[in-house]
Structure 1
Amino acid sequence: MTIQRERPGVTVELIAKAKERVVPKSGVVLVPYQAEWGAPDELVKLGSFEERIAQTFGKVDTVELAAEGGATILAYRMTNGTATKAAYEQADAIRVEALYPGLVGNELKVTITVSTSEPGKKELQVTGPLQTEKFSFADANELAAKTSQSNYVRVKKLGETAVTIVPETALTGAKSGTVALASADSTKLFMAVSGADFDAMYLPFDDSAVQAAAKQFMSDRRTQNKKLSTLVIGGKAADDENMAKHIERSVAQNARFVVNSAIAGQHNNGKVYGSLEWAAWVAGMIAATPAHESLTAVVVPLKKALKDWGHTDILSALGSGTLIATRDGDVYIIESAVNTLAVLGTHEREDYGKIRVSMTLDQIVNDISQVGKKYKGKLGNNDLGGAVFVSAVNAYMTVREQQGAIDTGWTFTDKKNGIGDRRGFLLSAKPLDAIEYFDIDWEVL
């Protein structure tokens, strides 16, 4: 029997994209961080625990916090550009250089000895934070080729002199590129990640001016780059017990695409984090949570809050759009999954103040836009071309309705107003919020 094959098209792409949205790991969270190891000033996607370990050795708390919900990490190590790599060298033979710049390189140790696995060869042993790697080699060329897979080093051949046996020796010469973050670093960060695709972004700055700039950056991405995502911020550790300070941050933002974390205290792992670090966990959860699920009442891995908020503080937080964790029996939960939108602007509604609704809006726009980019210039500007795109989006929206992300009764129609290379379409759909308040009338008989 002959296989009946169909040409892949936009409809298939959109259905696949819609189905991805109920898989937690489909979400991507951008986590800028500072450390003494990792690719400097470069975006690196980390989709698994093994990839995070290779990049950060698991020592960057904000990266690990963001990954707890299952989201894919888009990591960006911030440096001042002066970091250098540690190295060990044998003149006219080889140079063993740390994979990344930073002070961790000075902790790496190398040993060159007789190979125990391949008689007649020598062996390079590299001892690092995770394990000891061993590479047997006959000459410098073989060693350079094999260490291309090392998590710690790279070897370069310098000349024709034979590699000599040496006892354990530490790499030296590394310099740190880590300094206290300043506003100039945020500008560099925004420029570097402007074109990246991510669902949520963790901001590692507690300065109010930088947070205002970050809000503008995210707004510009939405309007100019057509890339919609959510910004998550936190505050200064010294202010974390002061609800007025948390509310002040929320009021300054007042945007559905900004979430303000007021969670602070001891994590279940035993470490104490302020609201700025907990913002990374919140950002990861936002990216990882499927659009048909709410973060309201999600258990927070908080062993002991820095402060257990009273009823007045809780109401003030909710009224200002401040995300808080409250004690519920033996655990802490997110009181309500709110963003900082509290004062409605033009074309905004009250339910836009919920993370679930806002994320659904962004996801639908992002998904249709991203898939549309693949097919722009390929459909004729006539009723047939318009009908193909309408059919594709209808298939996508049907899946989103089945997921429970949007209500029934949605429509996507072709305006049939094509002129030149432009054509208009109209999407009408209602994102579904979650039930948070149950009003029960009890008639006692």
Structure 2
Amino acid sequence: MTIQRERPGVTVELIAKAKERVVPKSGVVLVPYQAEWGAPDELVKLGSFDERMAETFGQVDTIELAAEGGATILAYRMTNGNAKAAAYEQADAIKVEALYPGLLGNDLKLAIVASTSEPGKRELQVAGPLKTEKFSFADAGELVAKTSQSIYIRVKQLGETVITTVAETLLNGGTSGTVELAAADSTKLFMAVSGADFDTMYLPFDDAAVQAAAKQFMGDRRKQNKKLSTLVIGGKAMDDDSMTKHIERSVAQNARYVVNTAIAGQHNNGKVYGSLEWAAWVAGMIAATPAHESLTAIVVPLKKALKDWGHTEILNALGTGTLIATRDGDVYIIESAVNTLAVIGTNEREDYGKIRVSMTLDQIVNDISQVGKKYKGKLSNSDLGGAVFVSAVNTYMTVREQQGAIDAGWTFVDQKNGDGDRRGFLLSAKPLDAIEYFDIDWEVL
């Protein structure tokens, strides 16, 4: 008889019962983008302003929008594979090449002059969007070593010929890898990021077919890779003033792990963005907001909405799980932090339609899975081994309760049904939503 093997791991099934588990999220947002600078077709984690500037020079609006809430960015520059890096070369001496391929490299200015800091040496100066870098050197070997940390270029030694001085000149030969995004690009994207860890994913495609494929990708990723994340989508700019079009997207998704934004208009920075770009801001806010906090009523950096929705449109949006911003005095706020789940399916509940509850569910599953990875293959399938895992998870769940993500009375127990390399555990917990409606009875005396 052939042994039927499965990949070792941790399985946490969400079953909608009177008692449940809970999940919030906070942390990393995946932002695929197109630009003329940045590591091509590669995942790059950007945890600070300085890192974002060095990687993109601050020229990618969706990355900056996603970072506004404080989330860590997992950037992925999408190219067609044909981009080439700009360069400058001295025969049999050195080749100076732009750090990344793309047209922006053609704007980098290079000069080799007498050193301004070390007499007797020469100096390579590279002027770019952020600053001018200067590298003093006595020979090619020293120059190669010093430029290894440049944010603009890398230098290769081609031979033993002495490097000569040169007046300011532009690097050249850089070509673009940016083309209009097509469905095939989304397939390549999904394959590249399927194993990555992120809390939310911004989808830079407004095509309905690609959005359907993205939902399928996220669903498969949850089931097969045990990686739970939330997808955030927007629509076509020409449809942003139509609530009917926004609702169509939500109805097509109808999943607790998909958020559809209808926010569009002028950002406080003066730029006008459609719902597709604002989706990056929403994805970043969801990732950055602790799971025990709600996005409902948070202020949106929206100076002027493309359209101020009427009462009926607002109710229709909420009823279909469409995330909208409404005017509240001098500012715009998130009306209600809803995802696209509107028609409840198997093993789902009404409160799953709120971002806070859904994120709490996902975060707890992801975090317990991480605990499982720590102990996978290291604990004996015995009551003692089960007790070690229960203890670790109980410690984590206690913190979740203290944060207000789950209600008191939760349990995590070993079912003591160990058989071979498999053992079952039962998690019971109630996720806590935020108060959005205040019903006050006034007894007039």
Normalising TM by the smaller chain, what interval? over 0.9
Instruction: Provide the rounded CA distance (Å) in 2 between the counterparts of 1:184 and 1:269.
Output: 33
Aligned residues of 2:371 and 2:393 also touching (Cα < 8 A): no
Aligned to 1:240: 240
Aligned positions of 1:200-211 closer than 5 A: 200-211=200-211
Shift, 1:382, TM fit: 0.7
User: Which residue identity lines up with residue 369 of structure 1 in the other structure?
Assistant: S
Kindly indicate whether residue 92 of structure 2 is the aligned counterpart of residue 92 of structure 1. Answer: yes
Instruction: Provide the rounded CA distance (Å) in 2 between the counterparts of 1:55 and 1:302.
Output: 27
Aligned to 2:180: 180
Aligned to 2:432: 432
1:368-405 CA-to-partner distances (Å, cap 9, x unmatched) read: 00121121111110111111111111111011000000
Counterpart secondary structure, 1:32: strand
Instruction: Provide the rounded CA distance (Å) in 1 between the counterparts of 2:112 and 2:443.
Output: 84
Instruction: Provide the rounded CA distance (Å) in 1 between the counterparts of 2:241 and 2:340.
Output: 19
User: Which residue identity lines up with residue 45 of structure 1 in the other structure?
Assistant: K
Aligned to 2:75: 75
1:86-130 CA-to-partner distances (Å, cap 9, x unmatched) read: 000011111000000000000001000001110110000000011
Instruction: Provide the rounded CA distance (Å) in 2 between the counterparts of 1:41 and 1:350.
Output: 39
Counterpart secondary structure, 2:434: coil
Instruction: Provide the rounded CA distance (Å) in 2 between the counterparts of 1:157 and 1:382.
Output: 61
Instruction: Provide the rounded CA distance (Å) in 2 between the counterparts of 1:444 and 1:244.
Output: 43
Shift, 1:172, TM fit: 0.2
Aligned to 1:66: 66
Aligned to 2:259: 259
Aligned to 2:393: 393
Counterpart secondary structure, 1:112: strand
Aligned to 2:336: 336
Aligned to 1:142: 142
Instruction: Provide the rounded CA distance (Å) in 2 between the counterparts of 1:116 and 1:239.
Output: 57
Instruction: Provide the rounded CA distance (Å) in 1 between the counterparts of 2:398 and 2:371.
Output: 16
Aligned to 1:281: 281
Kindly indicate whether residue 408 of structure 2 is the aligned counterpart of residue 418 of structure 1. Answer: no
Kindly indicate whether residue 85 of structure 2 is the aligned counterpart of residue 48 of structure 1. Answer: no
Instruction: Provide the rounded CA distance (Å) in 1 between the counterparts of 2:424 and 2:312.
Output: 48
Counterpart secondary structure, 1:266: strand
User: Which residue identity lines up with residue 188 of structure 1 in the other structure?
Assistant: K
User: Which residue identity lines up with residue 424 of structure 2 in the other structure?
Assistant: G
Could you list the runs of 5+ residues in structure 1 that have no partner in the other structure? 1-20
Aligned to 1:303: 303
Counterpart secondary structure, 1:252: helix
Aligned to 2:15: none
User: Which residue identity lines up with residue 79 of structure 2 in the other structure?
Assistant: T
Shift, 1:161, TM fit: 0.7
Aligned to 1:409: 409
Aligned to 2:362: 362
Aligned to 2:291: 291
User: Which residue identity lines up with residue 404 of structure 2 in the other structure?
Assistant: G
Instruction: Provide the rounded CA distance (Å) in 2 between the counterparts of 1:147 and 1:379.
Output: 48
Counterpart secondary structure, 2:37: coil
Instruction: Provide the rounded CA distance (Å) in 2 between the counterparts of 1:366 and 1:194.
Output: 15
1:243-302 CA-to-partner distances (Å, cap 9, x unmatched) read: 000000000000000000100000000000000000000000000000110000000000
Counterpart secondary structure, 2:73: strand
Shift, 1:239, TM fit: 0.1
User: Which residue identity lines up with residue 180 of structure 1 in the other structure?
Assistant: E
Aligned residues of 2:295 and 2:334 also touching (Cα < 8 A): yes
Instruction: Provide the rounded CA distance (Å) in 2 between the counterparts of 1:370 and 1:384.
Output: 20
Instruction: Provide the rounded CA distance (Å) in 1 between the counterparts of 2:189 and 2:249.
Output: 21
Aligned to 1:111: 111
Instruction: Provide the rounded CA distance (Å) in 2 between the counterparts of 1:93 and 1:237.
Output: 51
Instruction: Provide the rounded CA distance (Å) in 2 between the counterparts of 1:78 and 1:178.
Output: 8
1:382-429 CA-to-partner distances (Å, cap 9, x unmatched) read: 111111111111111011000000001111111100000000000000
Instruction: Provide the rounded CA distance (Å) in 1 between the counterparts of 2:412 and 2:178.
Output: 50
Aligned to 1:17: none
Aligned residues of 2:295 and 2:337 also touching (Cα < 8 A): yes
Instruction: Provide the rounded CA distance (Å) in 2 between the counterparts of 1:114 and 1:408.
Output: 71
1:71-95 CA-to-partner distances (Å, cap 9, x unmatched) read: 0000000000000000000111110
User: Which residue identity lines up with residue 81 of structure 2 in the other structure?
Assistant: G
Instruction: Provide the rounded CA distance (Å) in 2 between the counterparts of 1:188 and 1:370.
Output: 27
Aligned residues of 2:371 and 2:392 also touching (Cα < 8 A): no
What is the root-mean-square deviation of aligned Cα atoms in Å?
Answer: 0.9
Instruction: Provide the rounded CA distance (Å) in 2 between the counterparts of 1:95 and 1:393.
Output: 55
Counterpart secondary structure, 2:118: coil
Counterpart secondary structure, 1:439: coil
Instruction: Provide the rounded CA distance (Å) in 1 between the counterparts of 2:407 and 2:236.
Output: 40
Instruction: Provide the rounded CA distance (Å) in 2 between the counterparts of 1:115 and 1:56.
Output: 29
Aligned to 1:33: 33
Aligned to 2:7: none
Question: Identity of counterpart residues, as a percentage?
Answer: 86
Instruction: Provide the rounded CA distance (Å) in 1 between the counterparts of 2:409 and 2:61.
Output: 44
Counterpart secondary structure, 2:30: strand
Instruction: Provide the rounded CA distance (Å) in 1 between the counterparts of 2:155 and 2:376.
Output: 46
Instruction: Provide the rounded CA distance (Å) in 2 between the counterparts of 1:229 and 1:128.
Output: 37
Instruction: Provide the rounded CA distance (Å) in 2 between the counterparts of 1:28 and 1:265.
Output: 25
User: Which residue identity lines up with residue 286 of structure 1 in the other structure?
Assistant: I
Counterpart secondary structure, 2:286: helix
Counterpart secondary structure, 1:62: helix
Shift, 1:155, TM fit: 0.5
Query: Which stretch of structure 1 is more off in the superposition, 411-420 or 370-379?
Result: 370-379
Structure 1 residue ranges, 4+ long, deviating more than 6 angstroms after superposition = none
